[in-house]
Amino acid sequence: MNYSLSVTQNDVYDMHCEKKMHFNVKNVHSCIENRLEKDALGFFNEKFKHASNYSIVERNSLFTSDVRIKESTSIPLFSLYFILNGTNGYQFTNNDTVIRYGTNNIWSFAPEEERCIISRKNEKSSSIGILFHKTYIEELVNRYPQLLEHFYCRHKNGESFRVNKQCHMTTPEMYQVISQIKNASLMGQASEIYTEAKILELLALQIDSRGNNHDSKPCNHCKTIDDVEKIKEAKHILVNNLNEPPSILDLSRQVGINENKLKYGFKELFNHTIYGYLFDFKMNRASSLLLDSNKTILDIAFECGYGDASHFTKAFKRKHGVSPRVFRNKNK
């Protein structure tokens, strides 16, 4: 597979500041890493892991200017895509969208089509993409035609699209699986088969999320699509206010739904109490920051909504059985 990428300053009057990468992926067990750092554009790191049935691309960046990241490949791509930090604009064909941290989607890209990610100045961004190889996605379609055949037909016809019109929130369960994929090397010789199992689990969670986002799920408390959308809005408010989460009463008033309907409807939709969901979201975000950043324990505590490191450490230990420091040292 031929793969090319360029990072360019986002200024139509000044396009001379450009860095380009181009390489071939031939070895089915290769890990390629590209870096742009300490230059006029800031920092960009891309890690590309290639296995027999899938490829994993991890990106981290922090630019000193607004930039455009242009990329293209020689073959069609079908991928799972998760924004873990930052906010990116995405442009391809006639599709323009803004992708915010904590969201995900399933994407199809036509071969040779140039795609453009717009990354904002001084905003740290990180993402992970999982690309399915052609023979593997065909195998999965043959095994699960009802789930995948419609999307694959569009993909096979060379169409570029995102499966979900709106990107969906990444659940605590998804964050946990992503963390397990990133740390699959701990499984030794079984790491590839372990990773593949976790990728399928992640795909299943995304498909399940898509179903929940398009159907008015038959619930005792969520009787209409409007009820479901209000409860989803409440979840969005909750995870975007980690430092000062609203009370259930305030949350119900913000989305315009009865307090009891919010509590019981949330449980029906997400199989979690409101604050149980928030706790798991914080802990999975903390796990990701511990493994994928050099931030101090105190900084991570603040970012996950805790006023001091001791409260954060107690909460983390209750969830994971070890302190944040031990977790980081053990898994990095």
What pLDDT, on a 0 to 100 scale, did the predictor assign at position 93?
58
* Residue showing tokens 């969906």: 168
Q: How many CA atoms lie within 13 A of 309 on its CB side?
A: 9
Q: How many CB atoms lie within 10 A of CB 129?
A: 17
Q: Which residues are 69's β-sheet partners? A: 7, 117
By C-alpha distance, which of 252, 324, 259 is closest to 285? 324
Q: Which residue has the higher pLDDT, 166 or 278?
A: 278
SS3 at position 198:
helix
Query: Residue 272 pLDDT > 60, yes or no?
Result: yes
Contact, 243 vs 302, CB < 8 A? yes
CA dihedral (5, 10, 12, 15) positive or negative: negative
Q: Which residue has the higher pLDDT, 75 or 216?
A: 75
Query: Residue 21 pLDDT > 80, yes or no?
Result: no
Query: Residue 73 pLDDT > 80, yes or no?
Result: no
Rounded distance between C-alpha atoms, residue 92 and residue 258, angstroms: 41
By C-alpha distance, which of 18, 22, 309, 319 is closest to 175? 319
Contact, 56 vs 181, CB < 8 A? yes
Low-confidence winner among 246-250, 256-260, 270-274 (lowest mean pLDDT): 270-274
Query: Residue 114 pLDDT > 60, yes or no?
Result: yes
What pLDDT, on a 0 to 100 scale, did the predictor assign at position 18?
36
Low-confidence winner among 97-106, 137-146, 199-208, 273-282 (lowest mean pLDDT): 97-106
* Residue showing tokens 């029906």: 268
pLDDT band at 313 (very low <50, low <70, confident <90, very high): very high
Q: How many CB atoms lie within 10 A of CB 4?
A: 15
Q: Which residue has the higher pLDDT, 219 or 214?
A: 219
Rounded distance between C-alpha atoms, residue 45 and residue 39, angstroms: 13
pLDDT band at 210 (very low <50, low <70, confident <90, very high): low
- Total residue count of the chain as it appears in this document: 332
Q: How many CB atoms lie within 10 A of CB 24?
A: 11
Rounded distance between C-alpha atoms, residue 189 and residue 133, angstroms: 21
What single string gives the DSSP state of each residue in 13-60?
T----EEEEEEE---TTEEEEEEEEEETTEEEEEEEEE-SSEEEEEEE
Q: Of 20-29, 174-183, 196-205, 286-295, which has the strongest mean pLDDT?
A: 196-205
Rounded distance between C-alpha atoms, residue 234 and residue 251, angstroms: 6
What pLDDT, on a 0 to 100 scale, did the predictor assign at position 221?
63
Share of residues in the chain with pLDDT > 90 (%): 27
Distances (CA, A) of 243 to 127, 227, 282, 305: 23, 26, 10, 4
Rounded distance between C-alpha atoms, residue 38 and residue 63, angstroms: 10
Query: Residue 256 pLDDT > 60, yes or no?
Result: yes
SS3 at position 133:
coil
Rounded distance between C-alpha atoms, residue 77 and residue 329, angstroms: 35
Rounded distance between C-alpha atoms, residue 154 and residue 161, angstroms: 8
| Average pLDDT, integer, range 155-177 | 82
Rounded distance between C-alpha atoms, residue 78 and residue 160, angstroms: 9
Rounded distance between C-alpha atoms, residue 126 and residue 46, angstroms: 10
What pLDDT, on a 0 to 100 scale, did the predictor assign at position 117?
76
Q: Which residue has the higher pLDDT, 22 or 320?
A: 320
What pLDDT, on a 0 to 100 scale, did the predictor assign at position 330?
81
